[in-house]
Amino acid sequence: MAALQTELVDVTSQEVMLTFYRRLYPFKSIFAWINHQHTPARLFTHREFAFTIKNDVYLRYNSFNTVDEFKKNVCLLTPSRFEIGPVYTVRPKDRKTARKDAFKPVQRELVFDIDMTDYDPIRTCCSEAGICKRCWTFIAAAVRVLDTAIRDQFGYQHLLWVYSGRRGIHLWISDKEAMDLNDEQRKAVVNWLSVVQAGKESGKKVHVRSGSKPLPPSLRAALDELVDIFPDLILDDQDCFGSEKGYESLLDLIPDPKIVDGLRELWTSDPTSSSSDKWADLKNQIKKCYPQKDNPKRAILSASMEDIILQYTYPRLDAEVSKHRNHLLKAPFCVHPKTGRVCVPVDPSHIDEFDPSAVPTVGQLLRELDAIGSSNEHGAEHHSDWERTSLKPYVDMLDKHTQGLMNEVRREKREMDTSW
């Protein structure tokens, strides 16, 4: 039924998008969130916006002085989506008046992008653009691990998680220190947090330790979390080692030929045994081959089992997005052009309950608007019709997040004032 209804509204049509921007898009909230205060500051006025308009024309380096100008232009251009970039030294629209080397990005939220496609080599339920509740578990695990790690290790507090509208999730970190990071420091964060090196070759390998030395403490904490979900997600739900291709890639990760040969023999004769059985086989095989507990081989093998768990469950980041300040990222509350779903904020503490297919679509929202209808038709144009639709809880979530940010900015300002 839901699928049928979505088809009724053509997401790509200009009219639909225009109505969406005029009546539903929470410009004020977005403004407050990127501006960190109520009066327009450099964080907003020197900020780049990039629009994708019809025929895939891409307009970069737009900037606006006020939120009204911002809204007016978005409605004028009715982009299918738009992206938020960095704060530059000069207003991006005036960049041609500045010397070439004087136009540089200076600040930007620290952003992360996790995309389901990076999990294609391991997930068995969907592939490419598809996503279901089952593969969302990967994302949920990634969110939990990253959210904890970033708060605890880097000490950042203002994290906004946003569903990307299809099969991924974005993270925007707005702490002052995070905004100020240079590219080198961003790269360091990414590498600190990356375990599975992304690449086209499917044999993504985990390189986090030297020899069989213990895991670094940051990963130890992540592993403790991931060990819990590994049996449910990888062994039962996804059944990653069920097929021949699946178990061969598992065997590739085991550094001991004796064990590999034993297991391959076992599994070739019974290729359909479940992943849990295979995982148990692996444990038994290790015990059988190296019965003494203090055998150094045992240490190597248990280290490699930990690495396997990391490889299958640890967050896979799209590193390029995070490394450079001038990378653009789709703004929250945009509509995904393929699915029609709105990119809504997600509460990381309830990430497991989040269902991507329950996210409102633009068609659904417009029908809700129609339903509340023409009762006050002759009033002035409504700027916050979203309050009366199912978009409301999500906008409230963003506003609450922004409130925390603003409180901190205000506190800082007060401290500066009194320091005289």
Partner 1 sequence: MFKGAEQKPRNLQEHPQVAYYGTLQYPHRLNFYDKPPLFDVTVEEFETCALDRLRILAEIESSAARNRSWEETKSVTHTQCLKYLPLSNNSATKMDLNAQRRKDHLGHFVLRLAFSRSEELRRRFVKAESTLFRIRYENDDSMERQQFLDSRDFNWILVDKDEMSEYRKELSSVSENEKFFKVKWTRVPDLVEKRRVFLKGGWAYVPAREQASVVYQDFEVQLMGALEMTNRALPRLDEDNRLLPILDNLCKGFLSGVPSDWVASAPGKEGEITADMVDDIAKQHYPLCMKNLHQNLRKDHHLKHFERLTYGLFLKVLGLSIDEAITFWRKSFTGGPAETKFDKEHKYNIRHSYGLEGRRANYPAKSCQQLLVSDSASYGCPYRYFTPDNLQTALLSAYSSQGLKSSDIPEVMQTVRSKHFHVACTRVFEITHSQYNVKKGEGVGSGESVTHPNQYTAKSMEMEKAVKENLKGEMGMEID
Catalytic residue set: 48, 113, 115
d(Cα 59, Cα 71) in Å, to the nearest integer?
Answer: 16
Among positions 6, 45, 148, 153, the unique one binding partner 1 when judged by CB under 8 A: 153
Closer CB to partner 1, 87 or 181, in the complex: 181
Least separation in angstroms between CB 179 and partner 1: 12
Alpha-carbon span 315 to 142, nearest angstrom: 4
**What minimum distance in Å lies between the beta carbon of 324 and partner 1?**
13
**Least Å from the CB of residue 40 to partner 1:** 28
Binding of partner 1 by 218 (CB under 8 A): yes
Residue 413, token pair as written in the block = 């300002």
Nearer to partner 1, 217 or 257 (CB): 217
- In 235-343, where do the E strands start and end? 329-330
**Binding flag, residue 185, partner 1 (CB under 8 A):** yes
Whole-angstrom distance, CA of residue 268 vs CA of residue 207:
29
Give whole-number Cα distances, 256 to 17, 28, 141, 210, 289, in Å: 58, 59, 29, 17, 10
Contact (CB, 8 A) for 391 and 31: no
Count of CA atoms in the C-beta half-sphere (13 A) of 116: 25
Determine if 217 is a binding residue for partner 1 (CB under 8 A).
yes
Q: Which residue lies nearer to partner 1 by CB, 184 or 265? A: 184
Among 90, 154, 298, 409, binds partner 1 (CB under 8 A): 154
145 φ, ψ (degrees, to nearest 5): -65, -45
* Beta carbon nearer to partner 1, 61 or 192: 192
Tell me the site size for partner 1, rule CB under 8 A. 22
Instruction: Tell whether residue 212 is a contact of partner 1 (CB under 8 A).
Output: no
DSSP for 197-243, written as a single string? ---SSS---B--SSTTPPPPHHHHHHHHHHHHHHIIIIIIIS-TTSS
The rounded distance, in Å, linking the Cα atoms of 243 and 226 is 23
**By CB under 8 A, which span of 51-59, 179-187, 265-273, 390-398 interacts with partner 1?**
179-187
Q: Is 103 in the site for partner 1 (CB under 8 A)?
A: no
Which one, 49 or 172, has the nearer CB to partner 1? 172
Does position 188 bind partner 1 by CB under 8 A?
yes
317 binds partner 1 (CB under 8 A): no
State the residues that interact with partner 1 by CB under 8 A: 101, 152-156, 177, 181, 184-185, 187-189, 191-192, 208, 214-218, 220
